Chains A and B, each alone.
Chain A
Amino acid sequence: MKSRVVSLLAPGVGLLVVFVVLPLLWVVRASFNRAVDGAYMVSAFTFENYVRFLGSPWYLVNTLWFSVRIAIVATVVAVLLGYPVALYIARTRGLQKSVLMTMVLSPLLIGLVTLVYGWIVIFRGGGLLNSLMIAMHVYDEPIRYMWDLKGVVILLVYIGMPYIVLSLLDSIERINPALVEAARNVGASPWKAFWKVTFPLTMPGLHAGLVIVFSLNFAAFAIPLMVGANDTQMIGLVIYREALLNNDLPFASALSVIMVAANALILTGMGFVFGKLILKRLEATR
């Protein structure tokens, strides 16, 4: 039996260890190496890649803090859009529900480039939105949406929203309708019933959604690459550029380590806040 298990697991585990685990460990090791022009890298043990990033106010402000800010803004907007949608979908049944679910989830399977194309048609200089706004005299000069920070945020919200809806829906559907009914029966207004009963019970789903979407946004590189400008230096994009365009693999590796560490730190903080919030609610209702 043991040999059976081993032979069934060997291909998968082997492939993952060789091409995921080892490369990740190698990235950590490579972050202490030194880059050389036109070649792979020189084996070393230096902190200069970390110092170059963490010791530079420019990188800290324009890359690290910038990525955190953009990720937060895009995540919050995705929640504001996704929360009501999740609430509504949870109330629907049958065909309507499956149509809405399919619509919400399709962007996850339709490729990024395809979606970006549609947004470019709408948002580019002489695009639909600008033509419409100028024709209606809302403003006179075309506004730059694409190849700009605005485009990056719009696309991040667009890709993040389905995950928010999905996570929230999981916890909304788990709520016992009798609880809301009971609140209404003792005279709570719909708004109050929502705020006191439904909302606290969606905290776990909200937390799960925030974790996924914040991490995706924080590490994003394809969206800033496609619709960003020269000054939208999100950390994922800097990693991509350093590795592929500048061939500075040690610096790209160090940035990856910093990115994962910063993400872990932020998620830990978020987990702490959510733990506190949920605990407080529990104590208040006791």
Chain B
Amino acid sequence: MMRNDFGTWGLRLFTYLAMTFLFFPIFITLLVSVNPSEFILPPTGFTLEWFRAAWTSDTFVRAMGVSLLLGLTATIVANGIALLTVLAFVRYDFPGKASINLLVMSPLLIPTTIFSLALYVFFARIGFGAGVLPLVIGHTLHVLPFAVRILMASMQNFDLSLEEAARNVGAGPFRTLRSITLPVIRTGLVSSLVLCFVLSWNDFPISVFLAPPGWLPLPVELFSYIKFQYDAVGAALASSLIIISALAIVIIDRTSGLRQVVQR
């Protein structure tokens, strides 16, 4: 099987071509963002001018603030809820476990279009439609299944008798959580926090449905920018997002393994 026969060479060539297809747009964006002469390729030099313009633009700085706040809120709330849910799942047996698991995973199974529309129609009933609250809730629920899955995996091998021992020597539930449970799942938690944040930070479909004017997250703002303006400042902003995502990808890969966390 592992012989370097003709078939393997063909597959290798094909794979490298496919990887080029996957990475070409990313590579080009990075290239354009440091090229002093706008869009003239090959690059004529190196500049951080476009980055400076992107990171000092009022619109983008404001949008970064929105994205940061949104991402942190959604990440913290989702991981808190996920932690409680996972504790219930690994510690106890209860009727309806499978249905509750399905419910928790449901935001992943429902198409984003329908998930966002449902929140939009629901909140429109109360008088919001798009708004900060629906936006935060949409992001939180969108990342929740990912957090549950990672934390669940990191607790699967957890020895429950450790918690019991701590309780027996008089530790309260919070002390037990802090000194026994959290250290054990630390790697999983780091991975989950980073993944949830980057999913929210980069999200476009949910935000475009639910973000109210004045509260547009970075991807939505970037989209409306490149729709009407076509310059290297857009490339610099896109590159910034690529670099942040790449950092997140490395951290997630080191902690949980990329493959386990992105599965649908």
Interface SS, A side: helix
| Chain B residues within 8 Å of A22, by CB | 122
Q: Which of B157-165, B185-193, B199-207 contacts A (4 or more CB under 8 A)?
A: B199-207
Smallest distance from the beta carbon of A102 to chain B beta carbons, Å? 6
Cβ–Cβ contact A253 & B121, under 8 A: yes
Partner of B262, one of A105, A112, A128, A181: A105
User: Which residues of chain B from 1 to 41 have any CB-CB distance to chain A below 8 Å in the complex?
Assistant: 1-2, 5, 7-8, 10-12, 14-15, 18-19, 21-29, 32, 39, 41
Contact with A along B79-96 (1 / 0, CB 8 A): 011101101100110100
Q: In the assembly, what is the distance between CA of A105 and CA of B257, in Å?
A: 11
Cβ–Cβ contact A253 & B117, under 8 A: yes
| Chain B residues within 8 Å of A236, by CB | 111, 113
Cβ–Cβ contact B85 & A112, under 8 A: no
Q: In the assembly, what is the distance between CA of A110 and CA of B243, in Å?
A: 9
| Chain A residues within 8 Å of B10, by CB | 84
Q: In the assembly, what is the distance between CA of A119 and CA of B23, in Å?
A: 10
**A5 on interface, CB distance cutoff 8 Å:** yes
Cβ–Cβ contact A103 & B19, under 8 A: yes
Q: In the assembly, what is the distance between CA of A236 and CA of B208, in Å?
A: 13
Number of A-B contacts (CB under 8 A): 266
Contact with A along B118-146 (1 / 0, CB 8 A): 11111011000010000001001100100
| Chain B residues within 8 Å of A277, by CB | none
**B166 on interface, CB distance cutoff 8 Å:** no
| Chain A residues within 8 Å of B27, by CB | 118
Q: In the assembly, what is the distance between CA of A98 and CA of B137, in Å?
A: 34
Q: In the assembly, what is the distance between CA of A260 and CA of B264, in Å?
A: 18
Cβ–Cβ contact B88 & A5, under 8 A: yes
| Chain B residues within 8 Å of A181, by CB | 1
Contact A256:B2 (CB < 8 A) given known A9-B88, A20-B106: no
Cβ–Cβ contact B117 & A109, under 8 A: no
Report the contact-size class of chain A (Cβ under 8 Å from the partner): 35 or more
Residue among A19, A85, A177, A239 with the highest chain B CB neighbour number at 10 A: A19
Q: In the assembly, what is the distance between CA of A109 and CA of B122, in Å?
A: 29
Q: In the assembly, what is the distance between CA of A4 and CA of B29, in Å?
A: 51
Cβ–Cβ contact A110 & B241, under 8 A: yes
Partner of B1, one of A180, A256, A263: A180
Partner of B141, one of A1, A20, A101: A20
Cβ–Cβ contact B22 & A107, under 8 A: yes
Contact A118:B84 (CB < 8 A) given known A19-B141, A20-B115: no
Contact A115:B26 (CB < 8 A) given known A8-B84, A88-B12, A110-B241: yes
Residue of B nearest to A215 (CB): B111
Q: Which of A56-64, A135-143, A199-207, A217-225 contacts B (4 or more CB under 8 A)?
A: A217-225
Cβ–Cβ contact B14 & A85, under 8 A: yes
| Chain A residues within 8 Å of B92, by CB | 1, 4-5
Q: In the assembly, what is the distance between CA of A165 and CA of B193, in Å?
A: 26
| Chain A residues within 8 Å of B87, by CB | 8
**B222 on interface, CB distance cutoff 8 Å:** yes
Smallest distance from the beta carbon of B249 to chain A beta carbons, Å? 6
Cβ–Cβ contact B112 & A84, under 8 A: no
Cβ–Cβ contact B248 & A109, under 8 A: yes
Q: In the assembly, what is the distance between CA of A19 and CA of B144, in Å?
A: 13
User: Which residues of chain A from 161 to 199 have any CB-CB distance to chain B below 8 Å in the complex?
Assistant: 161-163, 166, 177, 180-181, 190-191, 194
Binding site for A on B (CB under 8 A): 1-2, 5, 7-8, 10-12, 14-15, 18-19, 21-29, 32, 39, 41, 80-82, 84-85, 87-88, 91-92, 94, 100, 103-104, 106-107, 110-115, 117-122, 124-125, 130, 137, 140-141, 144, 148, 195, 198-199, 201-205, 208-209, 219-220, 222-223, 226, 230, 234-235, 238, 241-242, 245-246, 248-249, 252-253, 258-259, 262-264
Binding site for B on A (CB under 8 A): 1-2, 4-5, 8-9, 11-13, 15-17, 19-24, 26-27, 30, 40, 81-82, 84-85, 87-89, 91, 98, 100-122, 124, 128, 158, 161-163, 166, 177, 180-181, 190-191, 194, 212, 215-216, 219-222, 225-226, 236, 239-240, 243-244, 249, 252-253, 256, 259-260, 263
14 residue pairs A–B, Cβ–Cβ below 8 Å:
A5-B88, A19-B137, A20-B103, A87-B11, A103-B19, A112-B204, A114-B222, A114-B241, A116-B226, A121-B28, A121-B39, A122-B25, A177-B1, A221-B113
Task: Given contact pairs A22-B122, A24-B114, A110-B242, enumerate 9 new A-B contacts (beta carbons under 8 Å).
Answer: A12-B148, A21-B103, A101-B259, A103-B23, A109-B245, A110-B245, A113-B226, A118-B238, A119-B25
